[in-house]
Structure 1
Amino acid sequence: MAALLAPAVQAQIIMAIDSPKNEETHSDIGLIHGWVASDKKIEKVEWWLNGEYKGNMLCCYPRADVEKAHPDKKHVGGWGRTFSFGGASGVREVVVRVTDTAGGVQEKTVRFNTIDIKSLKNLHFGEAQVEVFDDALILRDVRNEKGQYFDLEMKWDWRLRQFTVVDVVSTSDDDDKESGGQDQDDSSGDDHDSNDSGSSGGSDDSGSPGDNDDSGSSGGSDDSGSDDGGTSSNIIEEATYQGQLIELVNQYRAEGHTCGSEYYPPADPLTWNSKLESAARRHSRDMADNDFFSHTGSDGTNVADRAREAGYDYSYIAENIAAGYKTPEAVMEAWMASPPHCTSIMSKNYREFGNAMVWSDNTQYPTYWTMVFGDQ
């Protein structure tokens, strides 16, 4: 008698796309990201844009919220990548497919609108009116440099810990139209504080890049990006760029990198920490508001002070700063070319980080970037 075999049980995969959101409006340059929880190890995360295969996404970095929501799943994590949706407004469709090592497959589809982010640069908020709702706010009559007006709907992004734009509506008729430096600071609870000062792409501590100064002072290298004029505070790009840096940092860590003459092997991805983000945003805003570029704040604080005051009880802490760079790719390229900054990004001493970029008018640099690394 032939044996009866039970049908194979396909591993259950649970997944979601966090961004872009279905039926919402996004900038044409942004972060595609989401999460997956599975009984089996994830083999690959693939994606398609308007039916065209785009390849694999980075997977999987820690997502504590997903682990908490799905404690029964052995393999949990986030995935994502940055991408330009084409540089023009229109409808887009993204399909993401997750495959595990048991052959289990799950996919999700989102359809959304995009708006050319170039039309949203150099926004002026002086005439805007704010309407506040339970889970969102709307900025009405925000004007760009061409005299065009927009209404921006914003919702709180719990993962990025800030408001992000979810809908953009042009309110202008045709008749209405009007004719980087960088610096790095590394300190810890183990009396490890690097003071690397210099200029133009290098660090200068008596001629030795990455030289440690255990005096407890903060410092860094001053590598200026382009300084071709300031722009108005741009909440759209600030939110978008913050998400892009999350992915770029973890891509470098996943691949390994040589910092100066020292090779750093692949390291675990860094986890986002809202307290470190708060410390980073405080310093970027301080530099922009007070037109200076230094690890020492206008109130005399250093990165260790700001982390503690944000409620982060650290054993290791480090800070990279930069000014003048216009994109996440540009600032990351500069940091990775500078050994002390590169070391902070690649070091296994750090397991968490937060970052912030602020646009500024009428200052020496148009942008101010801060990235804070830590471990508790």
Structure 2
Amino acid sequence: MVEYLRIRALIGTLALAASGGLLLPTVTHAAHSRTSPSSDKRILLAIVNRDRASHGLLPLRLNSLLTHVALLHSKDMAAHDYFAHEGEDGSTPFSRMDRAGARYRYAGENLGTDTGSNQIAMLEAIETAMLQSPGHRANLLRATFTRVGVGIVTTPDSIYVTEDFAG
């Protein structure tokens, strides 16, 4: 069952990437507002859990191991200027979680990127776009997911977000 869900989740996200579904719209925000990495995680977790609550789901718990995995992937994407579930080294979301020692029966990954200067508005825009994408929405609203890792990296003009889910 675990392998089936892993493959199904990866195929769904690869299909979204091929169709351009993972490439989120570029949004320009007038106000300049950069937040700290720890507050970014808390803000995004609050947005995710707000969306889950509106669908009658329990909140996700922030997991430090999954956050480490997600952050490394966001850093890799920013450093090598790419946007994909497959890492520069050929790793997959699941191989990265396995390598870090994460335990799970179900796992998934969402990616988002945006440009602008208002960090909170960019996080909201990314999460809104994810809810409009069937594969991302499924990950966000999957009842079997209980933990999430959030990796957020900002460059002078962009933000890279990785959400790694496990249950």
Q: TM-score if structure 1 supplies the norm length?
A: 0.38
CA contact (8 A) 2:24 2:129 kept: no
Which residue of 154, 170, 190 corresponds with 2:3?
190
Aligned equivalent of 1:370: 162
- The C-alpha deviation readout for 1:9-39, integer Å capped at 9, x for no partner, is xxxxxxxxxxxxxxxxxxxxxxxxxxxxxxx
One-letter amino acid of the structure 1 residue matched with residue 4 of structure 2: D
One-letter amino acid of the structure 2 residue matched with residue 223 of structure 1: L
CA contact (8 A) 2:69 2:100 kept: yes
Q: Determine helix, strand or coil for the equivalent of 1:370.
A: strand
For 2:162 and 2:41, the matched residues in 1 are separated by 10
If asked which structure has higher relative contact order (CA below 8 Å, sep 6+), I would say 2
Structure 1 residue 288 displacement after superposition: 0.3
Structure 1 residue 237 displacement after superposition: 3.6
Aligned equivalent of 2:57: 267
Which residue of 284, 292, 313 corresponds with 2:103?
313
CA contact (8 A) 1:198 1:221 kept: yes
In the TM superposition, structure 1's runs of 4+ consecutive aligned residues that sit over 6 Å from their partners are none
Structure 1 portions without partners, runs of 5+: 1-187, 205-219, 229-233, 257-265
CA contact (8 A) 1:227 1:366 kept: no
Which residue of 17, 23, 29 corresponds with 1:223?
23
Aligned equivalent of 2:137: 342
One-letter amino acid of the structure 2 residue matched with residue 281 of structure 1: L
For 1:249 and 1:269, the matched residues in 2 are separated by 8
Aligned equivalent of 2:31: none
Which residue of 255, 268, 271 corresponds with 2:54?
255
For 1:343 and 1:227, the matched residues in 2 are separated by 24
**Larger relative helix fraction:** 2
For 1:348 and 1:315, the matched residues in 2 are separated by 13
Structure with higher Rg: it is 1
CA contact (8 A) 1:270 1:350 kept: yes
One-letter amino acid of the structure 1 residue matched with residue 47 of structure 2: L
For 1:284 and 1:223, the matched residues in 2 are separated by 15
Structure 1 residue 311 displacement after superposition: 1.6
Aligned equivalent of 2:128: 333
CA contact (8 A) 2:149 2:165 kept: yes
Structure 1 221/373 Cα, relative in aligned 2: closer, same or farther at 3 Å?
Answer: same
Structure 2 portions without partners, runs of 5+: 29-33
For 2:158 and 2:83, the matched residues in 1 are separated by 12
Structure 1 residue 225 displacement after superposition: 2.9
Structure 1 residue 267 displacement after superposition: 1.2
Which residue of 33, 40, 49 corresponds with 1:241?
40
- RMSD (Å), alpha carbons: 2.2
Q: Determine helix, strand or coil for the equivalent of 2:152.
A: strand
Aligned residues: 152
**Larger relative strand fraction:** 1
- 1:285 matched to 2:80? The reply is no
Structure 1 residue 268 displacement after superposition: 1.2
CA contact (8 A) 2:109 2:165 kept: yes
Q: TM-score if structure 2 supplies the norm length?
A: 0.81
One-letter amino acid of the structure 2 residue matched with residue 357 of structure 1: I
Q: Percent identity between the aligned chains?
A: 27
For 2:48 and 2:133, the matched residues in 1 are separated by 15
Structure 1 357/225 Cα, relative in aligned 2: closer, same or farther at 3 Å?
Answer: farther
CA contact (8 A) 1:360 1:367 kept: yes
